């Protein structure tokens, strides 16, 4: 059933958030630390185990895949809710220069840090309809 996949996803979400909140409390940050990251790890570990044992029906997988497919539309909705007006008009020159430099400089470090550790192959080209 579709709801089983959704329930698994929600369960991982809850577990990750709880762990993130606990980690935030222990470290004294007061906010959630890496909750979504923990939830993703949990989903990867549990779903790969269930798939191996053939315990996740196609319908249940569809329940999870629906939300993956909704990801970009949700991001579009999210961008439509950002305070773009304030970001552009707000802090003036300082905001604009700082926002741009703070983005570009770290971006340039990606190829440098990528050289560390085991190499990763580029994903195969995508055939989009």
Partner 1 sequence: MELLEMITNIMTKNGLVMSFLVVGGVMALANLLGKATKGRIAGSAIAIVFGLILALIGGLVTGGEKGLSDVAMFSGLAVMGGGMLRDFSIVSTAFGASLEEIKKAGLPGVLALLIGVVLAFIIGAIFAFAFGYTSAADMATIGAGAVTFIVGPVTGAAVGASSEVVAISIAIGVLKSIVVMIATPMLAKPLGLNNPKSAMIFGGLMGTTSGVAAGLAATDERLVPYGAMTATFYTGTGCLLCPSILYLVLTMFF
Considering only residues 1 through 40, tell me which ones interact with partner 1, judged by CB under 8 A: 9-10, 12-13, 16, 20, 23-24, 27, 29-37, 39-40
Rg over alpha carbons for the chain, rounded to the nearest Å, is 20
60 binding partner 1? (CB under 8 A):
no
58 binding partner 1? (CB under 8 A):
no
Q: Work out how close the CB of 107 gets to partner 1 at its nearest, in angstroms, rounded to a whole number.
A: 6
**Closest Cα partner for 60 from 43, 73, 74, 42?**
43
Q: Work out how close the CB of 2 gets to partner 1 at its nearest, in angstroms, rounded to a whole number.
A: 13
80 binding partner 1? (CB under 8 A):
yes
Residue 17 neighbours by CB distance under 10 Å: 15
By the 10 Å C-beta count (0-12 exposed, 13-18 middle, 19+ buried), 9 is classed as buried
In the bound state with partner 1, the residue whose beta carbon lies nearer, of 1 and 97, is 97
What is each CA distance from 22 to 69, 94, 109, 111, in whole angstroms?
30, 36, 32, 34
Binding pattern for the stretch 81-120 against partner 1, x by CB under 8 A and - elsewhere: xxxxxxxx-xx-xxxxxxxxxxxxxxxxxxx-xx-xxxxx
């Amino acid at each position: 059933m579709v709801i089983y996949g959704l329930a698994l996803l929600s369960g991982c979400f809850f577990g990750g958030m709880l762990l993130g909140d606990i980690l935030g409390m222990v470290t004294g940050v007061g906010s959630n630390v890496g909750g979504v990251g923990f939830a993703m790890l949990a989903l990867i570990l549990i779903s790969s185990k269930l798939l191996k044992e053939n315990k996740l029906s196609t319908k249940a997988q569809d329940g999870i895949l629906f939300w993956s497919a909704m990801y970009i539309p949700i991001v579009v909705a999210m961008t439509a809710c950002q305070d773009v007006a304030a970001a552009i008009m707000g802090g003036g020159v300082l905001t604009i220069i700082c926002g741009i430099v703070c983005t570009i400089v770290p971006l340039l470090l990606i190829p440098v840090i990528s050289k560390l550790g085991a190499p990763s192959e580029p994903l195969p080209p995508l055939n989009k309809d």
